[in-house]
Amino acid sequence: MLKRILKDRLALSCGLIFLIVAVLSLSAPLVAQYVAHTGPNDEHITATIGSGVHRRYVVSLVGVPIGPTWGPRFFLGADSNGRDILVRLLYGGRASLAVGFIAAAITLTLATILGVAAGFYRGWLDAVIVRILDLMWAYPVILLAIAIGTVLAVSGITIGPITIRAGSLLLPAIIIGIVHIPYVAKPVRGQVLVIRKREFIDATRVLGMSPRRIMIREVVPNVATSLAVFAPLMVANSILLEAGLSFLGVGVLPPNPSWGNMIGQGISLISVAPTGVLAPGLMLVAAVIGVNGFGEGVRRALDPHGRIRPR
């Protein structure tokens, strides 16, 4: 599979784009400390930069923030609170990518458990799980996420001994992870329904393996290739949904940055400070194209009927 991916230039290019976005985002603390000398939430509303005739307010007296300086400080300009857009962009990337990966991990884990259990056991368990998945599937994913997000964003959530405070990154990750479950669980269940009738499963039963062991040792490895195809798609979808929720104020909560809430906050100033919207927008596009393109490459590499087209 690796050989096939390495021969797929499109997938490699997309992977490289995503890698650049990820590395830039991971470098956020370094940029903040050694280049911009400011944190993502540090406000410089009444500060000035430059000296003499070149001295400028970070935020003007009528609230217009400074544009790109192309220098170490305020490289991409400032937002309405006098915060460095570049620093927030990189920290926002960390938040968006973290939420994307955690949400995708939650989706894949829970969807695999539910899909495999439903498909393997069938009967009443299958009926209950499928009905719940149908219900979730029928509800528009963004509305479902907003509804859950609005409730949890105010109060947080407590599950047994674990408390997740409102404002934690885990909260949008869990919400997004949950609402995406049907999109993976249903195909996995379908695949398990086919696998469970295969002879090698019958053989393991004859050998006396417990159903749980059969699922873990025999069924899950056989759906792993599908999960490998789903994984990058789920990461991309989760990043997009996080951006949408944060834009609407129920994802990553301000003042913490994410690409979505940066777009939401910058939109009222788009005519005078376009970088506040364009920069996170472009990063979002780059990240999603990168992950999706790479994911498509993985799918092609795993497709037994597919061939790499000669270039």
The residues of the shown chain that bind other proteins, judged by CB under 8 A, are 41-43, 45-46, 59-64, 80-82, 154, 165-167, 249, 253-255, 265, 267-273
Q: What is the DSSP letter of 33?
A: I
Nearer to other proteins by Cβ, of 176 and 273: the residue is 273
Q: How far is the CB of 114 from other proteins (least distance, A)?
A: 33
Minimum separation from the CB atom of position 152 to other proteins (A):
12
Closest CB 149 distance from other proteins, rounded Å: 12
- 92 touches 280 (CB < 8 A): yes
Convert 214-246 into a string of H (helix), E (strand) and C (coil): HHHHHHHHHHHHHHHHHHHHHHHHHHHHHHHHH
Of the pair 149, 293, the CB lying nearest other proteins is at: 149
Q: Which is nearer to other proteins, 248 or 285 (CB)?
A: 248
Residue 269 or 301 with smaller CB distance to other proteins: 269
Q: Which of 126, 120, 108 is nearest to 213 (CA)?
A: 120
Shortest CB 280 distance to other proteins, Å: 16
CB 88 within 8 A of CB 42: no
Nearer to other proteins, 63 or 306 (CB): 63
Q: Please state the closest distance from residue 25 (CB atom) to other proteins, in A.
A: 21
**115 vs 149, which CB is nearer to other proteins?**
149
The rounded distance, in Å, linking the Cα atoms of 296 and 301 is 9
| 3-state helix/strand/coil string of 140-162 | CHHHHHHHHHHHHHHHCEEECCE
CB of 81 to other proteins, least distance (A): 5
Rounded to whole angstroms, how far apart are CA atoms 241 and 234?
A: 10
Q: How far is the CB of 88 from other proteins (least distance, A)?
A: 11
Instruction: Tell the residue number behind the tokens 């460095």, with chain if given.
Output: 84
Taking 3-state DSSP, the helix, strand and coil percentages for the chain, each rounded to the nearest 5, stand at 70, 5, 25
Chain centroid to Cα 253, Å, comes to 15
Compute the distance between CA of residue 16 and CA of residue 77 in angstroms, rounded to an integer.
Answer: 27
Q: Residue with structure tokens 């920069």?
A: 279
Residue closer to other proteins (CB basis): 63 or 71: 63
